[in-house]
Structure 1
Amino acid sequence: MPVDRSDPRPLHAQVADALRAEIRDRSIPPGDALPSEAALRERFGVSRSVVRQALATLEDDGTVRRTRGRAPVAAVPTEHHRLVQRVTGLFDQFSAEGLSLRTAVLSLERTRGGPPSAVHHLVTEDLLRLERVRSVDDEALSYVRTWLPAGRFADLDSAMLANASLHRLMETRFDAVPSSGRRQIRAVPADPRIARELGVSDGVPLLLLEGGTFDQDGLPLEWFESWHRSDRVVFDIEADGAADQIRIAPGPSLAVAPSPEGPQEAASEAPAPHSGLDRAAALAAELRTELDRLRAGS
């Protein structure tokens, strides 16, 4: 499809944006060669110099790789993996892998009330709302909004949280050890504010991980919503045939503290035994379907 000459963007920027979108949604898979300059000139109805400028832009921002004498290829993106079942946060998981995760605190304020899920889980409307952006190598990976019981964390301040782990602070400063909780994952479109902070376009698919955490005594500790770039973060799921770890559609019990019976109660609610690997595959397929739906509508 030719470029739109009524568009205020330069022609080379339009070509670069179109190719970048195809690489991000894997219409051009990682490692595959881009069409030839002649094919791009014909497709977009532009000159060779415009095509070359567009390709130079894509090379500069790391979207493509070029080697002398060869066609440019779609770069293989760096992916960061996160285990969903672990209570430990992103900071601790990345630190264990030798990655340096930076945290920018956008806001920390006391508020009366919050989303129903947070109020229900924390059993109070006197809350702290904490908003942060997590980055690796100066590239934003996730936007995190955390709700905390204000009375319990009244002494928390932004300076404590700069490039630090909230869970570690809970343990060392507030004698609260994150010990259990429930999580769910959904594919959602990026709203303008989150898109801006993550450096992506409005409406692109993000992976939203949300849930509540309890401390060592079973008391509610936090409720969080964490939006991750779907082109940079991969959620890993531990599949164990001996344990029913994956639930495709968590019910309203998501924000309810675990029963003292623990595994016995979970086992009584579980359907007929299935392979943990099958359940993980089903969840992955569901997420892929939702991402495809959002991409088709963007």
Structure 2
Amino acid sequence: MEAEISETAFELRPLYRQVREAMVSRLIDGRWQPGQMLPSEQQLAVEMGVSQGTVRKALDSLAADNLVMRRQGRGTFVAEPEEGRLLFKFFKLTADDGRRRLPDSTVTALVKTKASAAARAKLGLPPRGLVWDLRRTRFLDGQPVIAEEIVLPAGRFPALDRVETVPNNVYALYSARFGLTVAHAVERLKAVAATAADAEQLGCPAGTPLLLIDRIAYGLDEAPIEWRVSRCLTDAFHYGVDLK
């Protein structure tokens, strides 16, 4: 059996979970690249020393998390960070009329700086850790609705300031440029009042109620790779989640 899969007699995880983790490690270290076609289930089963059914179950789990894509008659491919799919997965503001819209973004600042105590705690950084502080305004229907700050560990995003244009979909940038895939995120929501800076950025009176979204995004290795704070106007929009 491949070394990546434990043969310990006391292993409690189902075998397909071990196979899945072995596959995820290939995504993390870049052996499997976005858009790449994977070997067949039969080839993977022989390589990993497990049954084809176990491989299929592991791939099904990856597909459910949008890490691989099944294409009928063609095979299984590593998922590519596609604009709409990724944005709607992580962008939960919806117009009150129910329509989903893709936001536009304008970067207002990008600086490398010493991590604050809060950033060190959120991102698990050492006392003298450095971060990128990215600030932007996000628009829906041409109106500024989100004042956003994104803090990234500088060590995992080398030369971020050399990126010619920071795209609206930064998660696609993380994947394509730095090999970091956002696997999941944890958010905390709170009602706050707009500060003077928020008011200037969003064109609203100071004291206007805002929805604050505090998010930590994690990579495939479960390490935090982004701390994001979004301060949102919600007079025409709401935060919508489909609970299943």
Give me the TM-score of the superposition, normalised by structure 2. 0.56
Structure 2: 5+ residue stretches without partners: 1-86
2:166 & 2:156 partners in 1: Cα distance?
16
Residue 103 of structure 2 aligns with which residue?
A: 101
TM-aligned CA deviation for residue 161 of structure 1: 1.4
Change (3 A) 1:87 1:102: closer
Q: Deviations for 1:241-265, whole angstroms, at most 9, x for unmatched residues? A: xxxxxxxxxxxxxxxxxxxxxxxxx
TM-aligned CA deviation for residue 210 of structure 1: 0.5
Higher helix content, 1 or 2: 1
- 2:150 is the alignment partner of 1:146: yes
1:148 & 1:87 partners in 2: Cα distance?
21
TM-aligned CA deviation for residue 155 of structure 1: 2.1
1:92 & 1:227 partners in 2: Cα distance?
12
Change (3 A) 1:130 1:88: farther
Residue 90 of structure 1 aligns with which residue?
A: 91
2:213 & 2:102 partners in 1: Cα distance?
21
1:156 & 1:91 partners in 2: Cα distance?
26
**Contact 2:152–2:226 (Cα < 8 Å) also in 1:** yes
Q: 2:227 aligns with which of 223, 226, 231?
A: 223
Residue 239 of structure 2 aligns with which residue?
A: 235
2:173 & 2:100 partners in 1: Cα distance?
20
Residue 120 of structure 1 aligns with which residue?
A: 121
2:147 & 2:211 partners in 1: Cα distance?
11
Q: 2:171 aligns with which of 149, 158, 167?
A: 167
Spell out the pairing of 1:188-199 with structure 2 (5 A cutoff): 188-199=192-203
TM-aligned CA deviation for residue 217 of structure 1: 1.3
Higher strand content, 1 or 2: 2
Residue 111 of structure 1 aligns with which residue?
A: 113
Q: Give the structure with higher Rg (CA).
A: 1
Residue 73 of structure 1 aligns with which residue?
A: none
Change (3 A) 1:129 1:88: farther
Structure 1: 5+ residue stretches without partners: 1-85, 241-298
| Structure of higher RCO (CA pairs closer than 8 Å, 6+ residues apart) | 2
Residue 137 of structure 2 aligns with which residue?
A: 133
Residue 48 of structure 2 aligns with which residue?
A: none
TM-aligned CA deviation for residue 88 of structure 1: 3.7
- Taking only aligned residues, the RMSD between alpha carbons, in angstroms, comes to 2.6
2:136 & 2:117 partners in 1: Cα distance?
18
**Contact 1:134–1:142 (Cα < 8 Å) also in 2:** yes
SS of the equivalent of 2:160 reads: coil
Change (3 A) 1:92 1:217: farther
Change (3 A) 1:115 1:209: farther
SS of the equivalent of 2:199 reads: helix
1:113 & 1:165 partners in 2: Cα distance?
24
Change (3 A) 1:132 1:196: same
**Contact 1:87–1:213 (Cα < 8 Å) also in 2:** no
1:140 & 1:170 partners in 2: Cα distance?
24
TM-aligned CA deviation for residue 91 of structure 1: 9.6
TM-aligned CA deviation for residue 136 of structure 1: 2.1
Residue 205 of structure 1 aligns with which residue?
A: 209
How much identity, in percent, do the aligned residues show? 25
**Contact 2:183–2:219 (Cα < 8 Å) also in 1:** yes
**Aligned pair count?**
151
- 2:186 is the alignment partner of 1:182: yes
TM-aligned CA deviation for residue 115 of structure 1: 4.8
Give me the TM-score of the superposition, normalised by structure 1. 0.46
TM-aligned CA deviation for residue 98 of structure 1: 7.0
